[in-house]
Amino acid sequence: MNTVHFFFFFFFDTFFRNFYLNKNQKNYYNGNAINCTLNDTNKKYSFLNNDHLYMHDAEEKVNTSIHRRSYSASNNKKDVIRPESFNFIKVIGVGSYGKVLLVRHIKQNKLYAMKILRKENIISMNQLEHTRIERNVLKCVSHPFIVKMYYAFQTSKKLYFILEYCPGGELFFHLSKIRFVNEKSAKFYMCEIILALQYLHELNIIYRDLKPENVLIDEQGHIKLTDFGLSKEGVTESNSAKSLCGTPEYLAPEIVHQTGHGKAVDWWSLGIMLYEMLTGNLPFNGKSRSDLFEKIKHKKVVYPCSFSPVVVDLLKKLFEKNPKKRLGYGIKDAEEIKSHAFFKNVNWDDVLNKKVKPPFKPNLFNKIDLQNFDKEFLCLSLRSSDRHDSNPTGFDSNTINTIKDFNYNF
């Protein structure tokens, strides 16, 4: 789930780190939203606590999802999963549409992360399609560096994702404490992220939301990508995406231009993240959203003298404004990046098999040690309504409020 961190946003003069825009919907939701108009686009943007920008293009509403047979509970004898199947332990994340809890499956005695979304919020803020996309992507993927979904179910009021629990929390949480890492540590995280993105790209999925907040750390210190609500399925060279979406500071120029974009946007974001990990700062900032976008489109990045020449060379190639000239564009995709001198002597098979020692391993006193999560969330109380939601639908497709093809049992 996307989390909101107070030191990344300011009011009026500057802006949230992330935001969300829907071109098709004229009304903007959320009582805490700040609406403003950008002079260069003359379009209304809504700054929401949800952390994202998203503007639909009509073409992108065409069904381009991965065609796989939907799970059917009617011919499967697996146990029906519902909120009462779990003991609720603690709130570990909060966003505009819901929250994430640490839970324990009662029968299995196993810990999971439970992502809870209120249907009324999802529908009123036009997020249902993104929720479906996240569910579809998580259902179809299986990779060491991507968070695993075990169940998806619903009640009359809420949607539930039961996900792999990563006790190391967000990479963002750790970077906020130490500010930046050295090149060796950054290389470790980059390697695992590259393999995850390469896997997605091979499935013709673009991620579109790479940032430290969406990189989780497991108990051994390895990464897991999470939050696939902004992902796009079915992207090929002949079928590009058109939506203006993502975290603004991480947007590639072609997304800002809205000229169509493909897999290369993920490699631009990889460069942003590498720069941020090495400096503690973002390469592109602005006093306003339009100012930020102008810099993304035209500004050349200034590199600290502490950067090694090989890092500068890699970043320059990832920050190529023209996506067709960007490192990783085209058929070679990740292989072109993996062959760069920065990754010299990397054994990619060892990386994939988790044989490379992480620079950081969470120091956990027990299985429910929550020291790697923001205290702002941990102090929130558990609501009884989350445990005992009314009119549970489970896998009952006859309930009027049931969202079709959402339920899933691994």
Helix axes of 183-202 and 264-279: crossing angle, nearest 10 degrees: 160
Domains of the chain, first to last:
171-352 (1.10.510.10)
pLDDT in tens, the chain (410 residues): 443 332 233 222 333 344 333 333 322 222 232 223 233 333 333 333 334 454 444 444 444 333 333 333 334 456 788 999 999 999 999 877 889 999 999 999 999 999 999 998 888 888 898 999 999 999 999 999 999 999 999 998 999 999 999 999 999 999 999 999 999 999 999 999 999 999 999 999 999 999 999 999 999 999 999 999 999 988 877 667 778 888 899 999 999 998 889 899 999 999 999 999 999 999 999 999 999 999 999 999 999 999 999 999 999 999 999 999 999 999 999 999 999 999 999 999 999 999 999 999 998 999 899 999 999 999 988 875 566 554 444 444 444 477 888 888 87
Residue 232 burial by Cβ neighbours in a 10 Å radius (0-12, 13-18, 19+): buried
Catalytic residues: 209
Nearest residue to 18 via CA among 244, 309, 195: 244
Residues comprising the binding site? 115
- pTM of the predicted model, to two decimals? 0.80
Residues comprising the binding site for ATP? 115
Contact 203, 66 (CB under 8 A): yes
